Amino acid sequence: MIWAHITEDSHLKRYIVELIGTFFLVFTIARVSTSADLAMIAPLAIGGVLAAMIYALGPVSGAHFNPAVTLAMVLRKAMPAADVLPYIIFQLIGAFAAVFVAGMTIDTESIKALETSTAWIVIGEFCFTFALVLVILQVATSKAAQGNSYFGIAIGLTVAAGAWAVGPLSGAAFNPAVVLGMSALGAFGWGGLWLWLVMQFAGAIAAFLVFSVIEGCCSDTGDQ
């Protein structure tokens, strides 16, 4: 049944677009975050490619490229629940394909797993996944922001700011597809990976709850 849903033309093009966008996001991360020469400008490259993919592919799939965003969108009722699992599957395929290709172009043996603490993971991943998802919900789904042309830039800059702010603390993934893909390159240790995933999904849920309050307050104000 799920296979029939996935292979339906109107659905499949959205899933393929999610794969493509996630591929270029993770490929860029893998290339620039593993190069000492590019460390200072890496966040700009990552935020830039994300913004570009959002503008290019957003009209087709919504341009999530992130399972945490997909979770928030289904909670927001901005997408059918039946699309959640296929979106995440194709995002993960894109992420692993990206690190496979990137791995051919970099010295993977020199990559060391991030050494950090539980507190830093909680602070970095929860806070900036929260910020990212809140920005996405606000600029892409809010009634007050309908028809804006800055949504891609706002989202890309949020990721760039987060990467500069907490990259050394948590790795600045803010995205389960990124952290799983980069783990395959050795950038994150598999043993504690669950904490990144929990904090990212928790940040997305918290962002949805806060957005719901904000959106509700705005609606109440508009009705008066």
How confident is the chain (224 residues) per 10-residue block, as mean pLDDT?
Answer: 62 95 98 87 97 98 98 96 96 98 88 90 97 98 92 98 95 97 91 94 98 79 50
What was the pLDDT predicted at 6?
64
204: Cβ–Cβ under 8 A, 6 or more apart, which residues?
A: 68, 69, 71, 72, 129, 130, 133
Instruction: Render 70-115 in DSSP notation, one character per residue.
Output: HHHHHHTTSS-GGGHHHHHHHHHHHHHHHHHHHHTTS-GGG--PPP
Domains of the chain: 2-223 (1.20.1080.10)
For 128, the token pair is: 């900036």
Helix (H, G, I), strand (E, B) or coil at 157: helix
pLDDT at residue number 224: 46
Give Cβ neighbours of residue 196 (< 8 Å, ≥ 6 apart). 121, 125, 170, 171, 173, 176, 179, 188
The CA distance from 94 to 83, in Å, is 16
